[in-house]
Structure 1
């Protein structure tokens, strides 16, 4: 029998939901705030949460990351008395099943509950397909979410758009989708859109016939045809000129194309996977990328997070790189000094995983025949940046020490728990950061290292504005 947790500070609302669930013979529990909710989740397993947003001790949306990190998370239906477009966006990004604004009709609530429970039951019954993730390393929540999208993409032939900063591993993700798909034994053809010149782009993609233009001394098969039965991977898609975007759109719609100098059309049964480090929605607004092409490409959207947002993956990635380099060089695997990984952790990695691979290779070369790898083997420019960062953080903490200590002394008999103290200082940090940046969100995200969704969730949690 399914179990539901009703989370709402309004006793009347909880009573209404309880009555509805009793009539449907569904087992349920109730919680009036975040603390009671977390306690219930620690002791019981639930299939569904009916979750209010505005709770006495914080925003219900702050629970979503915690729920997603659970081994078997419940589905979530948001029931809020205050409709908020940004809150709805955060909720949907957080994976909620539905977002309902009170007063929602009993019929709508009941229908949403039944659909969510049916979906949860089907999800629990389905046997997850084992993925070959041998080349993708990551145990962080952000990467586990990526693996879920990769699993969805692997069992489909739908177009995939992979986004992320330079060096995060977009092509590796595309190849991982390919090797786990039904087309795994078929070609994987890479097109670097940034390296194609306007004059050669059409010939490169669609091919040409001998004599079609000056320099066409022989027939040439285009990359679109080479990808027949397999995958056409368009890297740096945002660099594709508008004229070629129109041609590509037709190929995606018809799976037909005409080589230069050829009278008849050819067919190619390929799957499209595209990648870009640019914001295509922004390019659409600027008029440099076709809206219809954008919507056709992004059937499945996979965002690879930057390395600074998944620091727990730095050590296993670096270890894997070192082990591979040692094998290739025919030398014994190095032993890591205690300061090696702490230095890697304190660096922001603007070049992401690609930069990490380069850095550990340089460290291995610097270590030479030495058995241990220490921070001193890392490139000097990285060590300087880490040292500067540590000094700046230490100075900032020193500036806050006197006021923080006074605040602790002033608590008197109402001395807070560590959790409460952390929460208070998290709010102070956000307030200070918003004042420092004047509410400039991109600057706030850069300084804090927060993702946009996490930042807005914190604003909601502490009822702040940027």
Structure 2
């Protein structure tokens, strides 16, 4: 039995649609406005939502992100009395199941209900069965979680994958995650750096060569395509491939055969292709800079990685992970990170994305390796100035001013998320947030000295380490005793 929400300001249509749902054995909840609809959706999980476009308190399409962000991830069917091509495009691009125009025949309604619920049930089953190896991918934001869902879905197939995104967003990490979660995980993962392929040696590097094929070929050499046999071939920065190489590579993708330089027979290689680019390949195709037939071969399944500035909430997790890794790599005590440093890093737009964040943190740590805590003063001036400019701008604009009680000893406010969670879950989250705030201040005031932190907090050394580990917080100066 499915649970269906109907959000429409036409009372007659709501009742008729609800009757169709009940005749099929499903439950239906009704709402006539966006506000009522949000209240209904927040009370319980739903499998399917019928959403009108023109509602008394706004455009229904504006509620799509809220609905899709619900824990039950219901399917959404947009219904409207007036056809709008732009609205339909917006709905479909934002993941709506379908876009229907009134009046609707009973047969049409029944078919869409059955298909949408059937798909939703299978989607939930697939999600429950997925156990993804994330490797070094850090973060739990909605944007990055959606990409990880795509990794899980395509990893189980043999289809080619195109990963797009700005420089430094972690395209190779995601390619490796697809490989690690696929049936080819035991095979090789071979990287082709298309941006650094010398034009005179492209064919030799990709296809290999035999001894004596050209001057300097003193022995047989396997090309990258042959090395990837049984595994995954990763074309990094595929947009940089020369046009002539694109032509030769297209046949390799179609037939999985290639000919080493100087050899008179073709060879086969059974590999899966994953490509990545920060270029606009469709625009390059239009400009004649990239072959359309090769683009269509690469573009079977696309994953677009979000820039770091759109990964709300991931900065702190990334910082803690990088600080730990960098300190261990350089054989330094694990540094603590004060909240001011996190706030400064979160205010910066990160044009170089995750790669730039890692590089900045390494510079900051190496610049003062003896300090047990990472303060804003350790960061480059341009990053610190970004936050200062934002603060000055807010204070100069009275409408944007915010009153903070954090420095006056008042307890922090924890607004309940939407939809309202069960009380036990909400209490657990609030408790966790309070613990994190306390531990950060404790580390700051103890300057990373664990013995001092234990004395101030009254916690045993083992309990303090357990709490720091549970919340992903760096601690200073010492490693945990055996």
Report the TM range for the smaller structure's normalisation: 0.7 to 0.9
Which residue matches 1:416? none
Which residue matches 1:4? 4
Contact residue 394 and residue 400 of structure 2 kept, 8 A = no
Which residue matches 1:194? 195
Which residue matches 1:149? 150
1:294 to partner: Cα distance: 1.4
- Which string of whole-angstrom CA distances, capped at 9 and with x for unpartnered residues, describes residues 129-184 of structure 1? 21111310111100110110010121111100000000010001100111111111
Which residue matches 2:110? 110
Further displaced range: 179-188 or 22-31: 22-31
Give the alignment of 1:250-289 within 5 angstroms: 250-289=251-290
CA–CA distance in 1 between the matches of 2:104 and 2:264?
A: 60
Structure 1: gaps (5+ residues): 403-466
| Residue 310 (structure 1) aligned with residue 307 (structure 2) | no
CA–CA distance in 1 between the matches of 2:297 and 2:200?
A: 25
3-state SS in 2 of match to 1:90? helix
1:215 to partner: Cα distance: 2.9
- Which string of whole-angstrom CA distances, capped at 9 and with x for unpartnered residues, describes residues 71-113 of structure 1? 2211111112233333223322322222222234332222111
Normalising to structure 1: TM-score of the pair? 0.82
3-state SS in 2 of match to 1:326? helix
Further displaced range: 236-245 or 269-278: 236-245
- Cα distance change, pair 218–7 in 1 and its aligned pair in 2 (3 A): same
- Cα distance change, pair 61–128 in 1 and its aligned pair in 2 (3 A): farther
Further displaced range: 158-167 or 75-84: 75-84
- Cα distance change, pair 192–401 in 1 and its aligned pair in 2 (3 A): closer
Further displaced range: 348-357 or 237-246: 237-246
| Residue 31 (structure 1) aligned with residue 31 (structure 2) | yes
3-state SS in 2 of match to 1:134? coil
Which residue matches 1:63? 63
Give the alignment of 1:167-206 within 5 angstroms: 167-206=168-207
| Residue 366 (structure 1) aligned with residue 359 (structure 2) | no
3-state SS in 1 of match to 2:212? coil
| Residue 99 (structure 1) aligned with residue 99 (structure 2) | yes
Further displaced range: 293-302 or 96-105: 96-105
- Cα distance change, pair 165–47 in 1 and its aligned pair in 2 (3 A): same
1:2 to partner: Cα distance: 1.1
Which residue matches 1:337? 338
CA–CA distance in 2 between the matches of 1:44 and 1:283?
A: 47
CA–CA distance in 2 between the matches of 1:244 and 1:393?
A: 53
The count of residues paired between Structure 1 and Structure 2 equals 400
- Which string of whole-angstrom CA distances, capped at 9 and with x for unpartnered residues, describes residues 187-245 of structure 1? 00000111112221122111122222333232221111110010000000111122211
Structure 2: gaps (5+ residues): 402-482
Which residue matches 1:135? 136
Which residue matches 1:72? 72
Further displaced range: 41-50 or 324-333: 324-333
Give the alignment of 1:298-447 within 5 angstroms: 298-395=299-396, 397-398=397-398
- Cα distance change, pair 291–393 in 1 and its aligned pair in 2 (3 A): farther
3-state SS in 2 of match to 1:330? coil
| Residue 122 (structure 1) aligned with residue 126 (structure 2) | no
CA–CA distance in 2 between the matches of 1:107 and 1:247?
A: 51
CA–CA distance in 1 between the matches of 2:72 and 2:338?
A: 37
